[in-house]
Each structure stands twice: as structure tokens, then as C-alpha cells.
């Protein structure tokens, strides 16, 4: 049975294909998304660096600040909170986040509109 919920989630890969603390890029409904598995959680953000304008966030550096999971841009090293997308270094800069879940061992993403 197909429901509205299954139509809005896009299967991307098996969970075991995501190495901890490393990013991977995926194309979801025409949008480049960067996926991360860190600290037992999954995160999905735009692969587009909001400052540098290049599709490189999947190659960013995963870390933490005061227990907050973070992602540093590989271009100019701005650091983003993976939970909120807020840039911790530049006021007013956001990295768009997307919903992500694991269902039956498969990572699925649901795109969010502009925040």
C-alpha cells in the first residue's frame, strides 16, 4: 500500500554504507544532499556551501563544539551546527537541513523547503 508518507521519503542507501564521521553526497529529487552518521545520529544537509557556493559539504570535517555535533566547510572552515544548520562563526548564515531517518536498515531523506 502506498501512503503519502512513503511518497515523500526517498531511499538513499543502506545504513552500513555510511562510515561514522564521514560524509557522503546523494542526489535526492534533483537536490544534492550531504549525509552524515555521527554520535549515533543521522544528519542530512544541503551539499551546497552557503558561503563558498560550491557543492562540497559532504567533504566537510565532522566534529563537535561543547557537545554540539558540527560540520566545518572544507572551503573556508565555517562551522555549522548539524542539528539546526546555524553557522557558529557567521551570524545569519544557515545550512539547509533535511529530514533523515533509517527504516529497515535503509537511510531515507525527505527534503525541506527553504528555512
CA separation for the pair 109, 90 (Å, rounded): 27
pLDDT beyond 50 at 46: yes
CA quadruple 100, 103, 105, 108: dihedral, nearest 10: -30
The residue that leads in pLDDT, 54 or 114, is: 54
How many CB atoms are located within 10 Å of the residue 56 CB? 18
Q: Which domain holds residue 94?
A: 4-110
Looking at the structure of the chain, the number of domains it has is 1
pLDDT digits (tens, 9 = 90+) for 19-44: 999 999 999 999 999 999 999 999 99
The pLDDT score that the predictor gives to residue 113 is 75
Q: Which residue has the higher pLDDT, 8 or 55?
A: 55
Instruction: Tell whether 52 is covered by a domain.
Output: yes
- 17: domain CATH number is 2.102.10.10
Residue 1: the pLDDT is 42
Amino acid at each position: 500500500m502506498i501512503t503519502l508518507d512513503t511518497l515523500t521519503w526517498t531511499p538513499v542507501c543502506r545504513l552500513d554504507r555510511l562510515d561514522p564521521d564521514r560524509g557522503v553526497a546523494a542526489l535526492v529529487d534533483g537536490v544534492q544532499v550531504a549525509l552524515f552518521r555521527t554520535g549515533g545520529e543521522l544528519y542530512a544537509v544541503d551539499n551546497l556551501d552557503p558561503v563558498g557556493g560550491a557543492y562540497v559539504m559532504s567533504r566537510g570535517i565532522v566534529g563537535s563544539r561543547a557537545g554540539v555535533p558540527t560540520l566545518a566547510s572544507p572551503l573556508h572552515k565555517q562551522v555549522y551546527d548539524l542539528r539546526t544548520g546555524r553557522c557558529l562563526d557567521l551570524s545569519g548564515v544557515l545550512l539547509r537541513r533535511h529530514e533523515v531517518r533509517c527504516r529497515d536498515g535503509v537511510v531515507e531523506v525527505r527534503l525541506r523547503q527553504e528555512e
